[in-house]
Amino acid sequence: MRKNKSVTMMNVFASICLQIATIISGFIIPRIILTTFGSEANGLISSLTQFLNYMALFEGGLSAVVLANLYKPLAERDMEKVSQVVMTTRRFYNKLAGFFILYALALAVLYPIFTKSSFSFEYIATMTLILAINTFVRYAFSISLRLLLQADKKVYIVSFTQIVVVVLNILAFVIMKNVWPNLHFMELISALVFLLQPVIYYLAVGKHLDIKKEVKPDKALLKSRWDGLGVSLATFVHNNTDVVVLTLFAGLKTVSIYSVYVFVTGHLKQLIQSFSSGITPTMGHLYAKKNEKELNRLFDFYEYMTFVLTSFLFTVGGLLITPFVLLYTSNVNDANYNQPVFGILILLAEAMFCLKEPFVNLAYVANKFKVVRKHAIIEAAINIILSVILVFPLGLVGIAIGTLAAMTYRTMYHVVYAWKDLIGRPMGKFFKKLLIFGLMSLGCVALCAWLYPLNDLSVGNWLVHAVVYAAAMIILIIMVSLFFYRREMGEIKRAVKKVIKRSEA
């Protein structure tokens, strides 16, 4: 168990470092595009990226199923079964990469015809093909290796590799802005930088695992991917539907406004998912070994930390998101980025998404895709139907309401399912935390907005308020935790002591 805790901490640390690098990248690169090429160009990149991601539907949920099917053979070091799963996955994604080429070509022809834009057909078509390179490389070369490393609790290798690529990508954009500010060429250089990922993954897998290439395909694995389709569909709809609806019914400038706000909410969400990605492989191995005592203990800590991180990040985010967006777009005057109601609603939606992470991941590592897929599809339907209906009268606010309603439904279902069918976890534990941390967040917002409102908008003033708001929230979290969650606080204290002790050694 000591080894499990050490690896888990390394994975969490590496994942959080990756998200910090990604946040920095997300701050710099869209800013370069906005200030150099305008809101419509930024909206075009966001929209095309989402349409290219539609190819993920053809996976049928295979990625999640592959991870669930790798935990047990890796825990038992059954390399014959591991090799069978990996090679079956690789062959499938190679075929999918071929289909993706056809999809990208069709999108390059059809997207410029049906999209409201001032850009020429040739401009959009060539941009589509350039942006498609990353997805093609992911399917053809890297995804099977990445899944294997993740399942083997080597998330840190994946994360540190991506950090290197993200940093190189930032440098490429900054240099090209000053040398030759051509958006097509900048995106092409970016795509070439990401070719480093599969090379490093290949070397890492070869060093740590002996994968046999001559094995029979696991036909049952490919069939079971359809059990994961509902899960994949719900995730896909959550990440992509809003942009598609806005592209079709509101235009690329509205997409740009949405993308800037979601840049904030998305990275807050990814910070929490980074924490999850470090814990989930350990949870998967414990479930595979049927170690219920340690699994329940880990889940208690996982749920508590998810509430702590979500309440802290999204409460401070709620106080600061609109002022941040206005500062970020201060020299951009071709669209109205002052959307405070939308900002709060989309933050609430993503916060609810984060709170369900422990419960959803528990169902995934238990390989219960067939059971939960119905409710994942219902979530996707709620999101799509409400977003399409409400975008006309309410615009961005309507999109956020649709997402929030869908997230709330799915979260409540998974809490009930964990209680009834997985580990018999009392629902009261979740709802007690929801009440306690919810009231704490509301109290912090009211206190900060009343005693120390952010009225004068400047970078320095924003930073000062960010520090004060964060400090207020940290104090409240510590007070609440000492009163209600002393055991979890003790575990954090012991973990920190171990890290300090090892660093001193």
Note the pLDDT of residue 1. 46
What is the chain's alpha carbon radius of gyration, rounded to the nearest angstrom?
23
Residue 265 lies in a domain: yes
What mean pLDDT do residues 205-225 have?
A: 74
pLDDT band at residue 358 using 50, 70 and 90 as cut-offs: confident
Which helix (DSSP H) or strand (DSSP E) does residue 118 occupy? none
Which amino acid would we find at residue 498? K
Range of the domain at 485: 230-497
Q: Comparing 177-181, 187-191, 273-277, which segment has the lowest mean pLDDT?
A: 273-277
Residue pair 256/42 in contact (Cβ under 8 Å)? The answer is yes
Q: Model pTM?
A: 0.69
Higher pLDDT, 69 or 434: 434
Asked whether residue 502 carries a pLDDT value surpassing 60, the answer given is: no
Residue 220 lies in a domain: no
Residue 177 lies in a domain: no
Asked whether residue 297 carries a pLDDT value surpassing 90, the answer given is: no
Residue pair 120/77 in contact (Cβ under 8 Å)? The answer is no
pLDDT tens track for 16-48: 888 788 888 877 888 888 888 887 887 788 788
Higher pLDDT, 261 or 50: 261
Note the pLDDT of residue 159. 87
Note the pLDDT of residue 499. 46
Asked whether residue 331 carries a pLDDT value surpassing 80, the answer given is: no
Residue 248 lies in a domain: yes
pLDDT tens track for 452-499: 888 888 888 999 999 999 999 999 999 988 888 887 777 666 655 554
How many Å apart are CA 498 and CA 486, to the nearest integer?
A: 19
Asked whether residue 311 carries a pLDDT value surpassing 90, the answer given is: yes
DSSP state, 368?
-
Which amino acid would we find at residue 312? F
- Token couple for 212: 């046999």
Average pLDDT, the chain: 82
Note the pLDDT of residue 495. 57
Residue 70 lies in a domain: no
Asked whether residue 316 carries a pLDDT value surpassing 90, the answer given is: yes
Residue 250 lies in a domain: yes
What mean pLDDT do residues 179-191 have?
A: 85
pLDDT tens track for 40-86: 887 788 788 878 877 766 665 677 777 777 877 887 788 888 888 88
Asked whether residue 220 carries a pLDDT value surpassing 60, the answer given is: yes
Residue 301 lies in a domain: yes
DSSP state, 59?
G
Residue pair 15/275 in contact (Cβ under 8 Å)? The answer is yes
Closest CA to 419 of 410, 411, 428: 428
Asked whether residue 116 carries a pLDDT value surpassing 80, the answer given is: no
Residue pair 68/367 in contact (Cβ under 8 Å)? The answer is yes
pLDDT band at residue 222 using 50, 70 and 90 as cut-offs: low
Distance in angstroms between the alpha carbons of the first and the last residue of the chain = 21
> What stretches of 418-485 show up as alpha helix (H) in DSSP?
427-451, 459-484
How many Å apart are CA 496 and CA 152, to the nearest integer?
A: 24
Angle between helices 252-288 and 62-76 (to 10 degrees): 30
Asked whether residue 194 carries a pLDDT value surpassing 80, the answer given is: yes
Note the pLDDT of residue 341. 92
How many Å apart are CA 7 and CA 281, to the nearest integer?
A: 10
DSSP state, 356?
T
Residue pair 349/375 in contact (Cβ under 8 Å)? The answer is no
Domain tally for the chain? 1
Asked whether residue 169 carries a pLDDT value surpassing 50, the answer given is: yes
Asked whether residue 205 carries a pLDDT value surpassing 80, the answer given is: yes
DSSP state, 217?
-
- Token couple for 15: 């994942």
- Token couple for 505: 């050694």
Sign, CA torsion 447/452/455/459:
negative
Residue 324 lies in a domain: yes
Note the pLDDT of residue 244. 77
Percent with pLDDT over 70 in the chain: 88
Can you tell me which residue has the tokens 């990440």?
239
What mean pLDDT do residues 253-272 have?
A: 84
The string of DSSP codes covering 282-308 is: HHHHHHHTT-HHHHHHHHHHHHHHHHH
- Token couple for 328: 């970020």
How many Å apart are CA 479 and CA 496, to the nearest integer?
A: 19
Q: What phi and psi, each to the nearest 5 degrees, are found at residue 149?
A: -65, -40
